[in-house]
Amino acid sequence: MAHQDRVPADEPGWRHPPFAAEISDDGDGRLLWGRGTIDDTGALAGLLEAVEAALADGIAPRHDVLLAFGHDEEVGGTGGRAIAEAVRERFGVPAFVLDEGGAIVRGVFPGVAAPLAVIGVSEKGIASVELTVEQRGGHASTPPKQTATERLAAAIVRLGRRPARATLPAPVLGLLEGMAPHASGALGAVLRRARLLRPFLPALLARSGDQTAAMVRTTRAVTRLSGSAADNVLAERARAIVNVRVSVDDTLAGAVDDIRRAIGDDGVAVRLVEGSEPSPVSPASGAAWDAIVAALASERPDVVPVPYVQNGATDSRWFARYCPHVYRFTPFEITAEQLATLHAIDENIGVDAWLEGVRILSALVRSL
Ligand SMILES: [Zn+2]
């Protein structure tokens, strides 16, 4: 799978025009510049390249190989949903699904020198939760003891002070154990005892940084706020939107209840606007996992495959509803700087990394 659409590229400041596919070479290797090179046109073109080359070589896979390219992944994924339903109707349950997600990365975890292939085995749920305080308005010159906006602000502060419970979801434990043999120093010592230290790891990871905290709990971020429309008018309705990412150990309803409990004020209405449950977890073992890992190893035996839970949503979530083997991984080596260009200016990918990824996809297609 891959998606054909891309986020806009309207921001000024691109070093190379976003739709010219220019290749530069400043000595550190060739780079291909453009919107979609990482997300997700690079994978789309790579998959087509791998399949066309296999056809040209007269390869006839033993199994059906379906190519599924949604057209609106970045704005809801109705295409991905329709494709998943059509596949189920016409072909039944696929042996596995491979979509965008993790990549080959280095230096993401301090103390882990080996390059990692982070393969998404699930994705967190996502929800928009609305907090509203309604109160009689009036003139700002004679305010009540607590205005609607102040009551909402107090609720938001309480929410921040009471984060959701930290747990160690099974794929996160798998990630830690997979990295353990390749980690040095204090981190290595902890990771090698991950199973033993399991009761303490959630709290430790929750404290270690924003990235690791997001791995062990449902996260909440207040993204939108609104109050009154004028400087001298008291708000009759103060409103906040909380963007929630639901841990695979949690549920949508559970996450909303936790928010209500953390706020602990009946005067603040808590309402789920929209949301989706976290995806079921696919196993980091078995025939499908092994096929992906074998294709990777044929080109990059130095890369360590590890499972992980994605924070963002992909089109493959529609398959995850009925297919137990859904993996989110594009086999391109991406640097931290390149990752930062995702959905931003200067999106680019290494030409060699892309060609290597095509060879990995090609090995996978030929093994099916
Ligand atoms: Zn994408």
Span 332-344, pLDDT tens digits: 999 989 998 989 9
In this prediction, residues 138-145 reach a mean pLDDT of: 91
Q: How far is the CA of 248 from the centre of ligand 1 (A)?
A: 21
The residues that bridge with 243 in the sheet, in sequence order, are 128, 221
pLDDT of residue 138: 85
pLDDT over 80 (residue 313)? yes
For 42-91, the pLDDT digits (tens) are 999 999 999 999 999 999 999 999 999 999 999 988 999 999 999 999 99
Q: Using pLDDT thresholds of 50, 70 and 90, give the confidence band for residue 280.
A: very high
- 314 burial (CB, 10 Å; 0-12 / 13-18 / 19+) is buried
348 within 8 A of 34, measured Cβ to Cβ? yes
pLDDT over 80 (residue 28)? no
pLDDT of residue 195: 86
Tokens of 195: 């199973």
Strand segments (E) across 135-202: 138-139
For 173-199, the pLDDT digits (tens) are 999 999 999 998 888 888 889 889 989
330 closest CA partner among 346, 320, 316, 344: 316
11 within 8 A of 40, measured Cβ to Cβ? no
Q: How far is the CA of 74 from the centre of ligand 1 (A)?
A: 7
Q: How far is the CA of 2 from the centre of ligand 1 (A)?
A: 8
- 113 burial (CB, 10 Å; 0-12 / 13-18 / 19+) is exposed
Contacts of 242 (CB under 8 A, 6+ apart): 128, 129, 130, 131, 159, 220, 221, 222, 223, 259
Strand segments (E) across the chain: 2-3, 23-25, 30-33, 69-70, 97-105, 116-123, 125-134, 138-139, 219-226, 233-234, 237-246, 269-276, 304-310, 326-333, 348-350
Q: How far is the CA of 87 from the centre of ligand 1 (A)?
A: 21
In this prediction, residues 222-242 reach a mean pLDDT of: 96
Cβ count within 10 A of residue 120: 24
Q: Which helix (H) or strand (E) holds 196?
A: none
Q: How far is the CA of 337 from the centre of ligand 1 (A)?
A: 17
Q: How far is the CA of 137 from the centre of ligand 1 (A)?
A: 44
pLDDT of residue 211: 86
pLDDT over 90 (residue 323)? yes
Q: What is the CA radius of gyration of the chain?
A: 23
Q: How far is the CA of 173 from the centre of ligand 1 (A)?
A: 26
- 153 burial (CB, 10 Å; 0-12 / 13-18 / 19+) is middle
- 248 burial (CB, 10 Å; 0-12 / 13-18 / 19+) is buried
- pTM: predicted TM-score of the whole model, two decimal places: 0.90
Q: Using pLDDT thresholds of 50, 70 and 90, give the confidence band for residue 110.
A: confident
Q: How far is the CA of 143 from the centre of ligand 1 (A)?
A: 48
Q: Using pLDDT thresholds of 50, 70 and 90, give the confidence band for residue 37.
A: very high
Q: Using pLDDT thresholds of 50, 70 and 90, give the confidence band for residue 32.
A: very high
- 82/98 Cα distance (integer angstroms): 17
